[in-house]
Structure 1
């Protein structure tokens, strides 16, 4: 609750202080307004995200006293900024809770859950996107909700209704922007890997027969008298306990391969497509000159026509530079006079640098650990199956939300990394929680130092996340690298 209250407060505090359209609000907020006023528009993304912006404006007009201003407005800029930003702020404040819920689903570790939610709440880019009328927060919200529903399906023996819910929300994520398909692709990678393991497990080299014989010869001799005195009862209880532990650590990879193909196709292909198709109906009714297929061709053609050079946009950045946060995006910049002195008001779409750099190291370390576990599995050495499944889930989602951008030739921006970054934050939380579990003082110092630095970094860069006035000297102290300007 403290994490949620903190997230909510930071997103709503002086939300309309900069009462002007900022960055892509000139498109997205305008599209939401146009739907309500039934004005003509052309959008380069599916309409679902703008429907929510329109919903926010409508609720503000009918429930929050903005009706007169809405009726008099001829364009979205005539409205108070609170009207088209508040729903984004609320949605963005829920995202840390979803990340924490997914962490608890897979691990049932309270501290890891709090760390995952806390790290997500301390990310600057998510805060910036939540305080403006942009649509990335809806992509993330529905994608994470789909992952949570998938976890529910696994814990409830692949309950069909949870599989349908998973497909529905994954389809909703792609209905905000096409890159929302990254969450769907992550499931496909996980499912494919489960089948690969199922097919090659019989190819593994057998264990030495001598080891098996030695294990079989190690038996415990229990006297008959002791059995009569209750030791047999104790042994029976021990066997039942071990059996329950084995069952609780059931191989989730095997569980995935048990999904019926018809259910799989219905849940993860038919349901997402039907949702995607249906959400276009309101848009096409307002714009009957275009068919559904024509809209898809126009969107695809637009993105293919965008070049990838800085001549297109000065804040273009290649996909491989996002993990080090080499090139953030300046959403807003102004130099007003306050009390006769020039100050800088800046909104920088950049993450918490300490959090991003540590999470990049965390995901790289996790991939190394995962490969080592894969080698142990191949050699039939004992492994923690549940932990390995969790690591595979994290890696598949991270790679699916990140690596496809390598094939994109158009101009890309750092906010395209947001889906992968949330998985990286969760990975960092796992490593910090593991370190805190160790008794050695060095691990404790490293863990608490990482937490303290992440909090300190968020506080230090907070003014350029929410556009607080800074002196030129204070602003330049926060621009550590020339590429950040």
Structure 2
């Protein structure tokens, strides 16, 4: 199947626009529903209002996401829309729309940003479209975009940092210093939402090291076959530039973003508040006694413990349920894509080593190394640090990792559609439509639609695995 024709490229571009439009609609539709706090809105919406009312408080996370929600409240209160549902749960009278719309807006930006990153890696509009399509068909990203929570900001800024880092190296001979500074600011902003934003920066460090090591190997062998890609062009960035733009700048950004909070809350000071946050999370235990939805890191990819954000029976045998869970079929296939990517890396790396990067390898598509390498490194950087964490964790901590797994699935489906094998093409198309069908099936508990008891049971993953509820 030839996906590189001009007409197909234009079709993929139109598809991206449609995906973006649908993402906006799904995130903003009925945003003011449920005139109560949903899950951790009890913290983040209230903290955001505290900034607007100059109310002192302690926050167990860095403040950026609450700043953004506060800005959303200030703007939302002055908009002519979304004022039909109000409450004073934050400590002041606000519409539910006002403290949720900023999440919806930022969440709508993730699919096109994923498309941009996928395109930087593969230089294919079809791959960009599929990556954006798949992330738009995930339930957890949709839910996190519809309520005043902080994970969507963390992911967006980390993703933006990765995108800008690759964009800065689009030229084979030099890098764009200004864009790399933007990447550093974005990484710092991600950490300023939650400390686990450091995982996006960790992935960048590892990839730069790999690129530099590979460049050194190729220089010794007088070959430049593999490094002619944006990923391996990261080797062009001098160490001093890496230190300034990706160490000093994120740290400076993180420090500066604390200033508004510290002006309002001078005690504890900047250093002490970092220790207070660390000690707070160190003291959180694990297990169902701490929270009924605690989920260890190894349960996340298989969706073994999704998380109820909101649940109420509004009439006999009919419920409103917002269940924080990914699209099961998408997450399973994305996990398979990670294992497939690891196999591709091992196979092609061995091929290069075995042939000493000589003539037979010149026909190897560079994306067959750079794309899976980028995916696997960032997936591991966002997942493996949780292995040693002993506090209660939740499935939303997997968002940073699964994002890259979904991108990897998009790339592999694109590869299958380009195959000369009708079987692989059919497998790719089946994957797309199956994931879309699964999304529609689980959509009622992503949007919190009215659902009958038996229909709800068939959609709750806990019920399928453990016969709970």
Question: What TM-score results when the alignment is normalised by the length of structure 2?
Answer: 0.89
Measured after TM superposition, the shift of residue 263 of structure 1 is 1.3
Check 1:469–1:253 CA distance in 2 against 1; reply closer, same or farther (3 A cut).
Answer: closer
* Maintained 8 Å contact 1:111/1:433: yes
SS at match of 1:375: helix
Q: 1:409 aligns with which of 381, 390, 393?
A: 390
Which 5+ residue runs of structure 1 have no aligned equivalent? Answer: 207-242
* Maintained 8 Å contact 2:119/2:127: yes
1:275 aligns with 2:253: yes
Q: 2:113 aligns with which of 85, 91, 98?
A: 98
Which residue number corresponds to residue 210 of structure 2? 193
Which residue number corresponds to residue 389 of structure 1? 370
**Distance in 2 between residues matched to 1:65 and 1:456, nearest whole Å:** 33
Measured after TM superposition, the shift of residue 466 of structure 1 is 1.0
1:139 aligns with 2:154: yes
Map of 1:147-158 to 2, 5 A cutoff?
147-156=162-171, 157-158=174-175
1:457 aligns with 2:441: no
Which 5+ residue runs of structure 2 have no aligned equivalent? Answer: 1-16
Which residue number corresponds to residue 10 of structure 2? none
**Distance in 2 between residues matched to 1:188 and 1:135, nearest whole Å:** 24
SS at match of 1:333: strand
**Distance in 2 between residues matched to 1:253 and 1:169, nearest whole Å:** 18
**Distance in 2 between residues matched to 1:331 and 1:27, nearest whole Å:** 14
Task: Render the CA deviation track for 1:140-187: whole Å, top value 9, x for unaligned.
Answer: 111111111111111032111111111110111011000011110001
* Maintained 8 Å contact 2:103/2:149: yes
Measured after TM superposition, the shift of residue 247 of structure 1 is 8.8
**Distance in 2 between residues matched to 1:292 and 1:282, nearest whole Å:** 11
SS at match of 1:19: coil
Which residue number corresponds to residue 376 of structure 1? 351
Check 1:259–1:249 CA distance in 2 against 1; reply closer, same or farther (3 A cut).
Answer: closer
Check 1:111–1:76 CA distance in 2 against 1; reply closer, same or farther (3 A cut).
Answer: farther
Q: 1:7 aligns with which of 12, 23, 26?
A: 23
Give the structure with the higher percent helix: 1
Task: Render the CA deviation track for 1:24-62: whole Å, top value 9, x for unaligned.
Answer: 000000000110011121110000000000000000123
Measured after TM superposition, the shift of residue 202 of structure 1 is 8.3
* Maintained 8 Å contact 2:120/2:230: no
Q: 1:432 aligns with which of 409, 413, 416?
A: 413
Check 1:440–1:255 CA distance in 2 against 1; reply closer, same or farther (3 A cut).
Answer: closer
1:288 aligns with 2:266: yes
Which residue number corresponds to residue 238 of structure 1? none
Which residue number corresponds to residue 50 of structure 1? 66
Check 1:31–1:483 CA distance in 2 against 1; reply closer, same or farther (3 A cut).
Answer: farther
SS at match of 1:39: coil
SS at match of 1:176: coil
Task: Render the CA deviation track for 1:381-433: whole Å, top value 9, x for unaligned.
Answer: 51433431222211111110111110111111110010111111110011111
SS at match of 1:345: strand
**Distance in 2 between residues matched to 1:321 and 1:346, nearest whole Å:** 22
**Distance in 1 between residues matched to 2:197 and 2:444, nearest whole Å:** 30
SS at match of 1:425: helix
Check 1:9–1:255 CA distance in 2 against 1; reply closer, same or farther (3 A cut).
Answer: closer
Check 1:440–1:390 CA distance in 2 against 1; reply closer, same or farther (3 A cut).
Answer: closer
Question: What TM-score results when the alignment is normalised by the length of structure 1?
Answer: 0.86
More displaced, 411-420 or 152-161?
152-161
Check 1:378–1:252 CA distance in 2 against 1; reply closer, same or farther (3 A cut).
Answer: farther
Measured after TM superposition, the shift of residue 310 of structure 1 is 1.6
* Maintained 8 Å contact 1:99/1:426: yes
Measured after TM superposition, the shift of residue 130 of structure 1 is 0.4
**Distance in 1 between residues matched to 2:349 and 2:386, nearest whole Å:** 26
More displaced, 190-199 or 327-336?
190-199
For the aligned residue pairs, the C-alpha RMSD in angstroms reads: 2.4
**Distance in 2 between residues matched to 1:54 and 1:269, nearest whole Å:** 28
Measured after TM superposition, the shift of residue 65 of structure 1 is 6.8
Check 1:200–1:409 CA distance in 2 against 1; reply closer, same or farther (3 A cut).
Answer: farther
Which residue number corresponds to residue 60 of structure 1? 76
Measured after TM superposition, the shift of residue 371 of structure 1 is 1.1
**Distance in 2 between residues matched to 1:75 and 1:253, nearest whole Å:** 45
| Count of matched residue pairs | 442
* Maintained 8 Å contact 1:327/1:484: no
Which residue number corresponds to residue 475 of structure 1? 456
**Distance in 2 between residues matched to 1:363 and 1:79, nearest whole Å:** 43
* Maintained 8 Å contact 1:317/1:411: yes
* Maintained 8 Å contact 2:99/2:148: yes
Measured after TM superposition, the shift of residue 257 of structure 1 is 3.0
* Maintained 8 Å contact 1:326/1:484: no
Measured after TM superposition, the shift of residue 201 of structure 1 is 5.8
* Maintained 8 Å contact 1:328/1:484: no
**Distance in 2 between residues matched to 1:422 and 1:401, nearest whole Å:** 10
**Distance in 1 between residues matched to 2:468 and 2:219, nearest whole Å:** 52
**Distance in 1 between residues matched to 2:281 and 2:26, nearest whole Å:** 34
